[in-house]
A and B are shown apart, each in its own frame.
Chain A
Amino acid sequence: MTAVIDKPHLTREHALDLLKQMIRIRQFEGKCAELYTQEKIRGFLHLYDGEEAVAVGVIPVLEKRDRIVATYREHGQALVRGVPMTKVLAEMYGKQEGCSRGRGGSMHLFDSGTNFYGGNAIVGGGLPLAVGLALGDRMQGKSIVTACFFGDGAVAEGEFHESLNLAALWGLPVLFVCENNLYAMGTALALSESETDIQRKAASYRMAAEAVDGMDVIAVEAAARRALQAIRDAGKPYFLECRTYRLRAHSMFDAQLYRDKAEVEAWRRKEPIVRLQGWLQANCMIHPEEIERIYSEVAAEIAEAVAFSEAGTWEPASELTRFTYAERAAQEKAAYHE
């Protein structure tokens, strides 16, 4: 972690903010798991426990105008991007105050206000979308980067290879962020890939690619800064493999028969919050009361999100078919001719 500590952007204030963002995701999702057992949240619920350093390291480096395409494990991405926690939790409650009106749930958080193009629950399905967003921006002369998050499971999909090839072939401003947590649901990377060094696959498409310790938020941020600078300078894609680990089950229905408890415990000792907090403490950069303050601020935000979601309302079933198609086709048609 000391390798990048001298970078001017790593002020004490910034480090505390990174810590807070990670704690915010962790505590929020802890509450989500609790609400799931209470059946306030239903369906599939995929938690990010252990992987927080990826979203927190990458997303704040993006500009407001940039775009994000995420996966079904995207609560962290949405929160760091600035989708209000109230709207994220209300979505998981299925309430119409949710960020997708309760239509998407945990796996499909959308927010046009922050250019958040959704949790995509088709593994690999978001990559072509990200390529297209970048193509559209490039053709319109817009200086926008699209950040596309996906897991190691997506690497086995054809869409991964099609998308990397298209982005490199056409020179499109996409930041591919592979969250390699070593398992596609329960299938270990080594059981599904002949080449487990994922960034090499990107390099084979003549794309700038690097792997980074995804449990080290500062290393992730430094890599993201390098990547974004390269994309903005050259207008070409960049591939960032963040090597991380999912400490909890794949979803709430997963008995985790496919991995040893000892393996999970070993990774838990490397997890990103403990790591950053320990480093800050060792370097006398944080006071215990500051940590307490972070936890109490986060608790208050979570309490507010729960209250907001509890008070939320159900979209009337009479509106079920709304927005299958655009409603104001006539107006949009008129706008088209302007």
Chain B
Amino acid sequence: MNETAHSAMIELTYREAVREAIGDALRRDSRVFLMGEDVGRYGGCYAVTKGLQAEFGPERIRDTPLSESGFTGAGIGAAMAGMRPIVELMTVNFSLLALDQILNSAATVRHMSGNQFGVPLVIRMATGAGRQLAAQHSHSLEGWYAHIPGIKVLAPATLEDARGMLWTALEDPDPVLIFENIMLYNMSGRLAPDAGPVGIGKATIRRAGSNISLITYGGSLWKTLDAAAELAKEGIDAEVIDLRTLRPLDDATIVASVKKTRKAVIVDEGWRSGSLAAEVCTRIVEQAFWDLDGPVGRVCSEEVPIPYARHLEIAAIPQVAKIAAAAKAALGRA
């Protein structure tokens, strides 16, 4: 055992991992800057960027007016002019005010211009429910964004990915959207102080198992791992796949797992109808239908605007018990 390496690990939160990733990017490349609402003097709505303006100044940690479309479009233009902007949208709900720029410009320009112009832009935003912020701050719309050709969509669920995906996204010549689940910001763990970039575009098996494939991403990963632990007590050996990248989807990892376990449940905090879970399910059916022993299950958000009251919010989104129950149902052990 390498004691030196072990003691060198540092304890930090997901929030701090994102902050370190941003600071590191700004230190490394003078073309990188961050802009968004209250990212500077306030320190970020979720305190992610706290302290960064003091280090990098108001030009590179740039507070913006509440003009989501305006400053997202400005990020696109700055990227086209040779910069490497990071645009922070406070939450995915607010990103809808910038959807025109994301879809009609960022995602479109390279193809529509015949490859003359590209948009090397990173857009970060918070997503998900769990803080009783009600129906205009709590939705999970990353599945919508995963519908759009021309962009890439990332959902870091671990400290390593929170720290490493930004670096890789900034190296990408095309627009990359990063969704940070608000329930992960306070999650703490250990990370190497020199943790570096991680690959994108590949899913990862977070728990190997042989009886059923539980496929998820983002904030639901930890609930799914907890469900897998519950299932283990009942002798069910679940495999948990963290999609990590929602566009492009890593079909190979999903299909290989399903071919092994022959059962699948998808856990997605988005609404069920037209969801990312529907897309994953369809790909399994298209590519592994004859390997399945039964129907594919889904645990998604209930089809309601996320409510304020604590018990209703809990009931609206995927929870450990629901995931475990869905897995048992898929195994015929309900």
Contacts and interface: CB of A to CB of B under 8 A. Distances in A.
B72 interface: yes
B94 to A, nearest CB: 14
A65 to B, nearest CB: 12
A333 interface: yes
A326 B73 contact: no
A191 interface: no
Contact of B76 (A108, A128, A329): A128
A128 B73 contact: yes
Interface in A81-139: 96, 98-104, 108, 110-112, 117-118, 120, 122, 125, 127-137, 139
Contact of B101 (A128, A137, A140, A325): A128
A158 B266 CA distance: 39
Nearest to A69: B77
- Of A112, A130, A133, the most chain B CB neighbours within 10 A belong to A133
A301 interface: no
Interface residues of A, number: 49
B174 A133 contact: no
Nearest to B113: A110
Given A132-B80, A135-B78, A165-B65, A110 B114 contact: yes
B118 A326 contact: yes
Interface string B60-96: 0000110101111111111111110100000000000
Nearest to B118: A326
Contact of A133 (B64, B72, B81, B111): B81
A103 B172 contact: no
A254 interface: no
B287 interface: no
Contacts of A118: 109, 112-113, 117
A323 B114 contact: yes
A332 B81 contact: no
Contact of A136 (B67, B70, B78, B114): B78
A322 B149 CA distance: 11
A142 B245 CA distance: 36
Interface string B252-294: 0000000000000000000000000000000000000000000
Contacts of B114: 96, 98-104, 110, 323
Contact of A108 (B59, B113, B172, B173): B113
B207 interface: no
B33 interface: yes
A128 B118 contact: no
A133 B77 contact: yes
A136 B74 CA distance: 9
Contacts of A165: 65, 67, 70
A163 interface: yes
A169 B69 CA distance: 16
- Of B70, B71, B171, B174, the most chain A CB neighbours within 10 A belong to B70
Contact of B117 (A117, A122, A135, A146): A117
A182 B59 CA distance: 39
Nearest to B248: A325
A333 B59 CA distance: 25
Contact of A329 (B73, B74, B100, B173): B173
A76 B76 CA distance: 25
B2 interface: no
A110 B117 contact: yes
Interface string A58-83: 00000000010000000000000000
A211 interface: no
A208 interface: no
Contacts of B111: 103, 323-324
Given A159-B70, A166-B67, A166-B70, A323 B115 contact: yes
A253 interface: no
A135 to B, nearest CB: 5
A101 to B, nearest CB: 3
Contacts of B172: 329, 333
The 6 tightest CB contacts between A and B, nearest first, are A132-B77, A128-B73, A136-B81, A162-B70, A101-B114, A132-B74
12 contacts: A103-B114, A104-B114, A110-B112, A118-B112, A122-B104, A136-B81, A136-B83, A159-B69, A162-B70, A166-B65, A324-B110, A333-B173
Given A128-B71, A133-B80, A325-B173, 10 more contacts: A104-B114, A117-B117, A125-B101, A129-B74, A129-B80, A136-B81, A163-B74, A165-B70, A166-B71, A323-B110
